[in-house]
A and B are shown apart, each in its own frame.
Chain A
Amino acid sequence: MRMAANDEAADIQALVHRGFASLTGACYLLLRIENPALAKPWLRTLDITSLAKARAQRLSQVCQIAFTAAGLRALGTKVTPEAGFDPEFIDGIAGDERRSYRLGDEGANAPAHWYWGVGEREPHILLLLLAADTAIDGLAQDTRSAALAAGCTTISGNTSTTSTPLGREPFGFTDGVSQPDFDWAGTLTPGGTRDRDYRNLIAMGELLLGYPNEYGFIGDYPQADKVGRNGSYLVYRQLVQDVAGFWQWVAREAGDGAITLAERMVGRELDGAPLPGLKSAKIMGTDDPRNAFKFADDPDGRICPIGAHIRRVNPRSGDDPQGRHGFIRDLISSVGFSGTAMHDAVASARFHRVLRRSRPYGPLIAPQAAMQGAGADQEIGLHFICFNANLARQFEFVQGAWAASAKFAGLAAEQDPLLGNRLPLANGAQPTDAFSYADDAACPRAIAGLPRFVTVRGGAYLFLPGLRGLGQILRDS
């Protein structure tokens, strides 16, 4: 049975398919429900933008809504594994010390230091408001007042709006270049030998609940009253970026080669182009020349370092690092009698993709100015948002096993050069603060002592329902 999410556009919140880059004003309104009887009628009056609407017209403002498990409970929804909710969603992003450890939310990143996300500052609702720069403050103010009147309180520390131009993250790199292309038409059949190679077209069930995933099965989701159908899990993390600290460190390490070193750490050039020297490749599910490459031709990271940020968060790996070579060779490779462990250390990417919808906040500082210390006295950061259908296998895996892990791809002592918390392993015996790459003469270089450039300051796992599901959540019980 073919299931095309395209046919359900009227039921899907628009953000899972639209970034609304033209609306540069944004407000991430975090609410707690104090009085559900008051809150429900108000929430029902909100005009939540559907994908169908966004496709039909150019919008001047957008409102999207998502709930934490605590929020759904406050509204009377039964949030249990048996009801079909993801166990990780029920636990919450900061609900378990072991989860925090895996996600790298330790030390300065620990939930205890967050602006919001735990205890009295655990949000129930995220209202994401988008509008033009000139309109966002008014829209945010009106919505806040209405929320207050409807028995909701706002969580402080996160109420300001942002109108930082989109397209670059605070360190100055073009952001959001690579996104998975989801199978909105419902034509993809995963699992064939084609999947031995990397592809960017990803099964719909990796983004929306109720659709077949990359394994070809529909995972559990809240089916009662269609609460879960066309919904998605939204991960929201507020990341503070030390822009001056980053560029000053890079300049100290590399002098005139600062930009080049930073580009190697990211794995792309400032403007988003792949690092020079990577062979271009045809990839199913992308036409963007900036994404027409794989790392298979650079297995030892001589061009793009193994530990570079973009290589960690999407290693562009297929089901088999040796690719596709006909039945017999594929079979030999599948049973492990060809190839080496060293070059087979990274999981297949198609099971671990997320859709990102992040926006920067704070002033935009150019690298040269940041090297002089500009921006050091201001808070600059990212509202990191991503969508996925299976928190454990997608977001948590990418964040934990790929970005935060000091053992990614068999590396010795390094975490993500941008995101790492730099905390040592094995009771302090093993540092994780290095970065290794090959220089222009292909000489291997290693730098130790990377400072922490990014600090987590808030986080939540939220459920972004379809519009029918939203109606069920908000109906009077």
Chain B
Amino acid sequence: MVGQSHIFIAALVRTGEADTLASLLETMNAAPGTADPANALVPFGRIPTLHVARFIILNDPSLPDRQLIAPQLPATEPLRLAFVADCDGTADQLLRTLVRLAKPGLQRIFSHCRDFDPNADLLAWLHAHRIISAATYTNWPGRTVTQLSEEARLHAALRQTRLAHPEASPEQLRALLLTAAQSVTLTPIPVLTFAEKVAQIGDFLLLPLYALLLSPVLVPALPVLIILLRWRETHDPVLAPVPSIARNKLLSSIEDRDVTNQYSAIGSLKPGLFRRWLTIAVLWIINWTARHLCTTGRLGRVNTIHFASWTFLDDKRRLFFGSNYDGSREAYNDDFINKVAYGLNVSFSNGLGYPQTNWLILDGASHEQDFKRYLFHHQIPTQVWYKAMPGLTNYDFARNARIRQGLTANLRGSALKAWIAEI
């Protein structure tokens, strides 16, 4: 199996150069916020293993919140440029490809960063600035860009055949479709090797193992922890300001350029060790869950996320959340609130100003208006966003994969009709 890797590279932006950097990044776009796959700086479209990528200046509009409700936190934090990507294979492979294809462009971009040295080894510099995200989610681990594009071509070819024979019976159509499918190259999908399976089981056992090891401490401490949580939940201030129309226009100007959108958000954690350790534990569990339980297209009941990641910054005082989701922002928010409010509460209620939760999973995001405002307050524009498969959603990917499986299955009667209906 070819696994997917998440890459998060961040470096401090030189003082006063954020605007020049933003203008430079803009030259990479074909439409507002949307990368031209063949842009001169980093031609994303030439990297066959890249699913999604973004360059983003992590300008945090919520930092002033600290003075209002968490004065014990530093008033300022450094401004960073981040490169965030999800790819097939290892991070090192992607970085090597990037350096090979786009060295001058990357140098131009990162020359706006404080400690960038054009004479230093670029690959080593990128590695040195990599931050390992605390949690990542992949819609369907193992599904490569190659597989996605081949299956999209398969669907297109079969659909053309289907539409060309509107009166054909399912059996007649099946024969025609199988013939049409032969013209499409389908690289065999690698399966897990024995060693990979063993490694996966070992990784799976980490959670029960840690739980067992920590239980002598955690179980007796539980009443205290619960009291700490309840006290905080009932006293932590909420900050969900009324959205500004101008900022909303800025954010929406770079949205809905494709059927999939990028989402970037940044914010501070609530001060104190309790929230810090709770976040570390929660994100560790999310990361484990994403690897072992949510591996076939669904994060809880949310089916629209291609990739998502949670990354600590500034000694875990701040968290960056990035995702790639199908549909529009409002629908994405609703989907989250209605289907996984518990998950949002667990993963974000340690954020400064988050709507009031109860018992960690209740309420919180269900305060629809406050929650949407909180999200908006923390959302930041992504300067450049790239997606390898424009016009296709997770539902499309999953359907195309089912169509491919149907090629080799022995289909008759209603199963055959169901297969054709999907084409």
Contact = CB atoms under 8 A, between A and B. Distances in A.
Contacts of B398: 341-342, 410
A442 interface: yes
B166 A446 contact: yes
Contact of B330 (A96, A220, A334, A393): A393
B369 A446 contact: no
B297 A351 contact: no
A396 B333 CA distance: 14
B259 A425 contact: yes
A447 B166 contact: yes
B44 to A, nearest CB: 16
Interface residues of A, number: 60
Interface in B260-292: none
A376 to B, nearest CB: 26
Interface of B: 155, 159, 162-163, 166, 169-170, 242-245, 248-249, 252-253, 255-256, 258-259, 293-294, 297-303, 326-328, 330-331, 334-335, 337-338, 342, 366-369, 390-396, 398-399, 414, 417-418, 420-421
Interface string A424-461: 01110110001010100011111110000000000000
B255 A87 contact: no
A96 B366 CA distance: 29
B331 A410 contact: no
A401 interface: yes
Interface of A: 81-82, 87, 90-91, 96, 98-99, 101-102, 191, 213, 215-217, 219-220, 300, 319-320, 333-337, 339, 341-342, 344-345, 347-348, 351, 392-393, 396-397, 400-401, 405-407, 410, 412-413, 425-427, 429-430, 434, 436, 438, 442-448
- Pick from B162, B327, B398, B421 the residue with the most CB of A within 10 Å: B421
Given A393-B334, A425-B259, A336 B253 contact: no
Contacts of B395: 341-342, 345, 407, 410
A197 to B, nearest CB: 14
B368 A397 contact: no
A96 B331 contact: no
B331 A300 contact: no
Contact of B245 (A90, A220, A413, A426): A90
A429 B245 CA distance: 33
Contact of A427 (B242, B390, B396): B390
23 contacts: A81-B242, A81-B244, A90-B245, A91-B245, A99-B252, A102-B328, A215-B367, A337-B293, A339-B301, A341-B303, A342-B395, A344-B298, A344-B303, A345-B395, A412-B396, A425-B259, A426-B390, A436-B421, A442-B414, A443-B417, A444-B421, A446-B162, A446-B166
A347 B259 contact: no
A319 B368 CA distance: 15
Contacts of A335: 300-301
A96 B249 contact: yes
B252 A96 contact: yes
Contacts of A319: 338
Contacts of A401: 327-328, 330-331
Given A217-B369, A397-B331, A102 B393 contact: no
Given A347-B338, A393-B334, A426 B391 contact: yes
